[in-house]
Amino acid sequence: MVFPLKRLFWPVSVRAAAAALIAVLLLTVPILAQDEKPAGTEAAAAQPADSSAGPARVAIILDDDVRIVIETMPDDAPKAVDRFLELVRDGFYDGVRFHRVENFLVQAGKKENEYAPIEGEMFDQNLTHEPGMVGMARLPDDYDSATTQFYIIKAHKANFNGEYTLFGRVVEGMDLVGEIKRDDKIERMEIIR
Domain boundaries, the chain: 49-191
49-191 has which fold? Cyclophilin (2.40.100)
> pLDDT tens, 33-42?
333 433 333 3
Ranking 24-28, 154-158, 183-187 by mean pLDDT, the lowest is 24-28
The per-residue pLDDT for range 79-133, each reduced to its tens digit, is 999 999 999 999 999 999 999 999 999 999 998 888 999 999 999 899 999 999 9
pTM of this prediction?
Answer: 0.74
Residue 93's contacts (CB-CB under 8 Å, 6 or more residues apart) are: 60, 87, 108, 109, 186, 188, 189
Predicted pLDDT at 36: 40
Q: Is the pLDDT of residue 52 over 80?
A: no
Tell me the three state secondary structure of residue 94. coil
Whether the pLDDT of residue 7 is over 70: the answer is no
